[in-house]
Chain A
Amino acid sequence: MRISTFFYTLKQGIVNIFRNKWYSLASLATITTCLLMFGVFYSVVMNFQYILKSAQEGVAVKVFFEDGISEDQILKIGDTILNREEVLKAEYVSATEAWEEFSEDYLGEYADGYTDNPLKDCANYKVYLKDVSKQQDLVAFVESIEGVREVVQSALTANMLSGVNKLVGYVSIGIILILLAVSTFLISNTVTIGISVRKEEISIMKYIGATDFFVRSPFVIEGIIIGAVGAAIPLGVMYVLYNKIIGFVIEKFNILSQLLKFLTVEQIFTTLIPVSLILGIGIGFIGSFITVRKHIRV
């Protein structure tokens, strides 16, 4: 294609946008709304998963050992556990440390009254998992090791967390697909209206000997521009509002501040910017391309 043809086509695409102001605005509003919903949704899901992940990492399985087992043996068992695929880390808590931790947490200065360690059989391993859904497997394995007295787990938390995590994943994929389908459909409708408005012009172009590519290009450029702007607007809005909303949430739910760990706006946007732009431009391109293809037949 000639450069002058390219610029002419580009200009026509832009002129078309302004010539059909209302249709353009309708498409723009559609993409903007969908991508804003997508952005908000994406941020919520990402933060939610981030929070869940942090929470998961805090869920530990405690392994206690038989009376009279030597520290060497305990450490050996510890190594076996660490070698498991699903284990993130395992911390050894010696009897002394267990006592210190307990007395610090619950006794404070009254602990000084004890001379002997009342928790002398409480040496244990705190095992953290990469993925809590594997907790049951691990527990079964550890319980079968000789020398292990008891495995203490918080089954409810672990199951709930992994269940919620999966659910959030499915629901988000579902909602995103619906959003994409809806916006592509609406764009296609808008382009159809635009084409019917310009049917005469298209038929004139065809009489003169315009190729399909030449006829189609302005519409496709129109779609792409609307898609790109429709992606940029929600991104801008999100960028401005993100920190404010997170600040608000932290302030309001300050009791949960230990649990609520949020991603920074940069962390969210490194993915959100390219994904939104690709979606916006993709919706604009596909919506207009398919529609023009379907309607331009002379």
Chain B
Amino acid sequence: MITLENVSKSYSTGAPALNNVSIQIDEGEFVFVVGDSGSGKSTFIRLLLRELLPTSGRIVVNGNDVARLKRRQIPKFRRNMGVVFQDFRLLKDRNVYENVAFAQRVIQVSNKEIKKNVPSMLSIVGLAGKYKAKPRQLSGGEQQRVALARALVNNPPILLADEPTGNLDPKNSWEIMKLLEEINEKGTTVVVVTHNREIVNAMKKRVVTMNKGVIVSDEKEGFYIDEN
């Protein structure tokens, strides 16, 4: 589903953010990516989204070699992936329903379909009752659920999450992680970047640890490893 072969990425300044990284993630896997800040986790996610191009090496996502995508093919390519971020990135002027519907409008789903899909997605993330609320009227945990609903409403085969619980309290963090696990159990490939040691250690999933742009360990049913 996701393959990196000898991928390096250097920004114009400083040491490379990724240095000769190779990894294979299969369909239906659940993978935690952990590591100190600055170790290249977000760069990894942005490369998968084709927001950035690798400086060298090959990245294949769902059969697409990202370096070979033409500009006009990128939108379609991104529809393979739902993505959530630490800061939620909701449209502040629109209510919960519209934020989720937005993802469907972008890919030109008919209104009739939207009216069916959005409420059912909202009930999966436990927000059916709050569809009229604006983001600022919601708690952090609720906002992240809206973001998750938006990421999933188009049924992407891959879900990428970059520190989805970074701004949440332990209870909400757990609920979001449980949702991600449920989604994974339904067949979606899930990649979660996180700093949450407790959850990583409890969930017994594959754990990829990065340090200074290099993968230093990759364990099935792994643990959060402290580099220091």
Bound complex: CA of A1 vs CA of B78, how far in Å? 20
**B75 within 8 A of partner (CB):** yes
Assess whether B102 is in contact with A208, with CB atoms less than 8 Å apart: yes
CB distance from A84 to the nearest CB of B (A): 63
Number of B interface residues at 8 Å Cβ cutoff, please give it: 22
Q: Which of B77, B89, B105, B107 sits near A204, CB closer than 8 Å?
A: B89
Assess whether B78 is in contact with A209, with CB atoms less than 8 Å apart: yes
Bound complex: CA of A74 vs CA of B201, how far in Å? 118
Residues of chain B within 8 A (CB-CB) of A205 are: 102, 106
CB distance from A212 to the nearest CB of B (A): 7
Bound complex: CA of A2 vs CA of B102, how far in Å? 15
Assess whether A212 is in contact with B106, with CB atoms less than 8 Å apart: no
Give the interface size bracket for A toward B: 20 to 34
Bound complex: CA of A4 vs CA of B83, how far in Å? 25
Residues of chain A within 8 A (CB-CB) of B93 are: 19
Assess whether A209 is in contact with B75, with CB atoms less than 8 Å apart: yes
**B41 within 8 A of partner (CB):** no
Assess whether B83 is in contact with A2, with CB atoms less than 8 Å apart: no
**A5 within 8 A of partner (CB):** yes
Assess whether A204 is in contact with B91, with CB atoms less than 8 Å apart: yes
A-contact 0/1 string along B103-146, CB 8 Å cutoff: 10111101100000000000000000000000000000000000
Residues of chain A within 8 A (CB-CB) of B49 are: 207
**B65 within 8 A of partner (CB):** no
Assess whether A208 is in contact with B72, with CB atoms less than 8 Å apart: no
Take A209-B76, A209-B79 as given contacts and tell me if A214 and B106 are in contact as well, using a CB distance cutoff of 8 Å: yes
**B51 within 8 A of partner (CB):** yes
Assess whether B108 is in contact with A2, with CB atoms less than 8 Å apart: yes
Residues of chain A within 8 A (CB-CB) of B75 are: 206, 209-212, 214
**A200 within 8 A of partner (CB):** yes
Q: Which residues between 186 and 214 of chain A lie within 8 Å of chain B, taking CB atoms?
A: 200-201, 203-212, 214
Bound complex: CA of A95 vs CA of B102, how far in Å? 89
B-contact 0/1 string along A205-242, CB 8 Å cutoff: 11111111010000000000000000000000000000
CB distance from B74 to the nearest CB of A (A): 8
Q: Which of A4, A200, A206 sits near B78, CB closer than 8 Å?
A: A206
Assess whether B78 is in contact with A208, with CB atoms less than 8 Å apart: yes
Number of A-B contacts (CB under 8 A): 50
Residues of chain B within 8 A (CB-CB) of A8 are: 105
Residues of chain A within 8 A (CB-CB) of B76 are: 209
CB distance from A128 to the nearest CB of B (A): 64
A-contact 0/1 string along B77-96, CB 8 Å cutoff: 11100010000010101000
Assess whether A5 is in contact with B89, with CB atoms less than 8 Å apart: no
Take A1-B108, A2-B108 as given contacts and tell me if A207 and B78 are in contact as well, using a CB distance cutoff of 8 Å: yes
A-contact 0/1 string along B47-74, CB 8 Å cutoff: 0010100000000000000000000100
Bound complex: CA of A5 vs CA of B109, how far in Å? 8
Residues of chain B within 8 A (CB-CB) of A156 are: none
Take A207-B83, A209-B79 as given contacts and tell me if A2 and B110 are in contact as well, using a CB distance cutoff of 8 Å: yes
**A140 within 8 A of partner (CB):** no
Bound complex: CA of A2 vs CA of B109, how far in Å? 9
Bound complex: CA of A210 vs CA of B106, how far in Å? 5
Assess whether A211 is in contact with B103, with CB atoms less than 8 Å apart: no
**A298 within 8 A of partner (CB):** yes
Q: Which of B51, B77, B106, B110 sits near A208, CB closer than 8 Å?
A: B106
Assess whether A208 is in contact with B108, with CB atoms less than 8 Å apart: no
Bound complex: CA of A83 vs CA of B111, how far in Å? 72
**B9 within 8 A of partner (CB):** no
A-contact 0/1 string along B157-168, CB 8 Å cutoff: 000000000000
CB distance from B227 to the nearest CB of A (A): 30
Assess whether B107 is in contact with A209, with CB atoms less than 8 Å apart: yes
Take A4-B111, A209-B75, A209-B78 as given contacts and tell me if A200 and B89 are in contact as well, using a CB distance cutoff of 8 Å: yes
Residues of chain A within 8 A (CB-CB) of B91 are: 201, 204
CB distance from B15 to the nearest CB of A (A): 25
Take A19-B93, A201-B91, A214-B106 as given contacts and tell me if A208 and B150 are in contact as well, using a CB distance cutoff of 8 Å: yes
Assess whether A4 is in contact with B103, with CB atoms less than 8 Å apart: no
* 10 nearest A-B pairs in the assembled complex, by CB-CB distance: A209-B78, A209-B79, A210-B106, A211-B75, A209-B75, A4-B111, A208-B106, A5-B108, A208-B103, A2-B108
Query: Chain B residues in contact with chain A, CB under 8 A?
Result: 49, 51, 72, 75-79, 83, 89, 91, 93, 102-103, 105-108, 110-111, 150, 154
* Complex A-B: 10 CB contacts under 8 Å: A1-B108, A2-B108, A8-B105, A19-B93, A200-B89, A204-B91, A204-B102, A208-B103, A210-B75, A211-B75
